[in-house]
Chains A and B, each alone.
Chain A
Amino acid sequence: AQSVTQPDIHITVSEGASLELRCNYSYGATPYLFWYVQSPGQGLQLLLKYFSGDTLVQGIKGFEAEFKRSQSSFNLRKPSVHWSDAAEYFCAVGLNSNDYKLSFGAGTTVTVRA
């Protein structure tokens, strides 16, 4: 069965600084990988997804993620964070592109300081 680990429970970053959130997955075949964000008071929103092809994926809100098969990782990055990026971020892995039985990580809470 597939699984996801997000090693960082909480990250604090200054506004304007870069952000990287780690995600490691365990899955024998080609994974379908997702990043979601949950802003305070909101539902989970899909930031980006990786199915195949180019290993660097661009998403919404200026986020990108890089798939590294050799490291079983799918880290999320943003070059310059905004105060509105304070939220909880979830990495997930699925068996196919519309797999509803996604396996989610426990999430990383991002705090942005002025």
Chain B
Amino acid sequence: NAGVMQNPRHLVRRRGQEARLRCSPMKGHSHVYWYRQLPEEGLKFMVYLQKENIIDESGMPKERFSAEFPKEGPSILRIQQVVRGDSAAYFCASSRDRENTEAFFGQGTRLTVV
């Protein structure tokens, strides 16, 4: 019974490249949440998705960031034209539903922009 799987664990990108972070939720979970942890700060909510729907993207930066959770396959957080300030740990969590259900977190992807 695998937990929430994120890959890659570590990702290095040069400024201007694209970064794709993947999150496979736990089996039976259809709700996915992405968080970002900047250096020396706590995790901050970015986006909440259900299968094929973005429910709440109020924490997403307005430009260069996008997220999807297709009917089949993992959820993807995509960062275009990365900048040094995008260097952070990105965590994904999943839950079975929204009502009184614990969210389970993945190990995170550490993105370094050089």
Contact = CB atoms under 8 A, between A and B. Distances in A.
B8 to A, nearest CB: 14
Given A43-B108, A98-B98, A100-B103, A4 B42 contact: yes
Interface string B20-42: 00000000000001010100111
Given A42-B107, A44-B91, A101 B45 contact: yes
A46 to B, nearest CB: 6
B48 A100 contact: yes
| Size category, B interface | 20 to 34
A87 interface: no
Interface string B35-56: 1010011111100100000001
A78 B43 CA distance: 24
Contacts of B58: 101
Decide if the interface of chain B is mainly helix, strand, loop or mixed: loop
A40 B105 CA distance: 14
B42 A43 contact: no
Given A44-B91, A106-B40, A106-B42, A98 B104 contact: no
Contact of A107 (B42, B44, B48): B42
A5 to B, nearest CB: 9
Interface of B: 3-4, 6, 33, 35, 37, 40-45, 48, 56, 58-59, 91, 93, 98-108
Interface of A: 4, 6, 36, 38, 41-46, 90, 92, 97-98, 100-107
